Amino acid sequence: MNLAKQVILKDAAEITLMRQSGKLLTQVFYRLDQFVKEGVSTMQINDLVESYIINELQARPASKGQYDYQYSLNTSINEEVCHGMPNTERFLKNTDIINIDITLEKNGFIADSSKMYVLAGASRAARALVKKTYQAMWCGIEVVKPGATLGDIGYAIAKSAQGAGYSVVREYCGHGIGREMHEPPNVLHYGKRGAGMVLQAGMTFTIEPMINQGAAKIKTKKDGWTVVTKDKKLSAQWEHTILVTPTGFEVLTLRAEEGPKVAGG
C-alpha cells in the first residue's frame, strides 16, 4: 500500500480553516500565560481551558472524548513525558516544569500544540532541557519543504537533542492532522536523511519531540495514560502544527512571542 496516497492534502479553503483553528489555539496559550503559576492545580488549568475554548472561542476541545479521554488537555510535569492527566490534588510547585498540550477544533478542523511552562524556582538543568527541546523542535520544522523527507525532520531533531547529551523518546511521534486529530503520516523525531515519505505542499502535521534528560526509556503509569521516564529524570516537549507550503513551511500555531523570523520558509 502506498502510504502517500493515504495522506490528506489540504486545499486552499481547508488551509484557511486550519489557520483559523491554529490562531484560536494561540489565544488559549495567551490566556494561560498569566494563570500557570505555583499553587494552581492541574485541574484548574484544565477547567479554565475548557471554559475558554467553549464559551469565549466558540470552539471545541478536541482531546475530550478522544480515545475515551475525559479531559480537555494534558498536563505533564517534570519526569512526565506526555499524557499527564489533570488532577484536583496536583498543585504546581515553584520548582516545576510543565508541558500543557491542547487541541482545538473549529469549523471541522483541528489544531494541536503544546508549550512548556517553567516556574520561577526551576533548576538550571531543567531550564537547559526545556530550551534545548524547543531548539530541537525548530531544527525539525526548519527543514520542512516540498521534496524534503520525514527522515530529514527526524534526523535534524535527534542530531540537535543528542548533540546536547539528551535522549529522544521513540515510542511517540508527530502525526498528520486536519479533520481528524490523528491522520497519516507518523512524524518520527529520529531518522535518516533522505529516508521516508517525501513532503508535498498541502500536507499538515505536528512536530512534537519529547526529549529526556537521562535515558530514553519510558513507562506508563497505572492510570493507563501518564507516561514517565523510567529513570525519573526530567522530560520536556514542545509541539506545533505545521503546513507544508509550495516554498517551505508555515507554523499554524505560531505564538506572537516566537517572532516573525519563524513564520514561514
* Predicted confidence (pLDDT) per residue in 6-61, tens digit: 999 999 999 999 999 999 999 999 999 999 999 999 999 999 999 999 999 999 99
pLDDT digits (tens, 9 = 90+) for 71-115: 999 999 999 999 999 999 999 999 999 999 999 999 999 999 999
Assigned C-alpha cell, 93: 510547585
Say if CB 227 and CB 80 are below 8 A apart: yes
Taking Cα atoms as reference points, which of 227, 209, 125 lies closest to residue 160? 209
57 residue type, one letter: L
Coil vs helix vs strand at 121: coil
Query: Where in 21-141 does DSSP place strands (E)?
Result: 60-61, 73-77, 80-82, 97-106, 109-118
For 94, the 3-state DSSP assignment is coil
| pTM of the model as a whole | 0.95
- Pairwise CA distance, residues 53 & 98, whole Å: 20
